[in-house]
Amino acid sequence: DAASLERRPTMLSGGQRQRVALTRALAAEPAILIADEITSALDRPIAVEVIELLARRVAAGLGVLMITHDLSLLAGWIDEALVIDGGRVIERGPPERLLRAPAEPLTRRLGEAIQRLSAGR
């Protein structure tokens, strides 16, 4: 909003700062964007808007490496997710499958935690 434009960056909320950082990164027109927990400080509707924005940019040719603990947010938007433990890929596949039928105990626990957190929203 217009009032936010007048505020110093330190007076912005965490979510607002995160959106400013994303805007700055996209303004540079990178070939690849590394998005590390880019939606972590955002409430669900804004997080979905960010994912939709990135999906449009991906359709236009941007490569995105997304690091997140919230696979449910990415379901339907990405082709493949990797579950990494101790620097090793322990499972990979479409996020829908990883959430529905995980092969690894860590992936199962991650899916259960996501469901608990989502129920609290």
What are the residue ranges spanned by the domains of the chain?
1-68, 69-121
Report the candidate in 35, 24, 28 with the shortest Cα–Cα distance to residue 63: 35
Chain centre distance of CA 79: 14
pLDDT band at residue 88 using 50, 70 and 90 as cut-offs: very high
Burial string for 42-71 (b: 16+ CB within 10 Å, else e) reads beeeebeebbeebbebbeeebebebebebb
What was the pLDDT predicted at 3? 66
Q: Is the pLDDT of residue 109 over 80?
A: yes
pLDDT digits (tens, 9 = 90+) for 37-47: 988 878 888 88
Residue with tokens 């935690």: 113
Residue 96 to residues 10, 37, 93, 102, 111, Cα–Cα distance (Å): 38, 19, 8, 10, 10
Determine the Cα–Cα distance for residues 109 and 114; give it in Å rounded to an integer.
9
Supply the DSSP symbol for 10: G
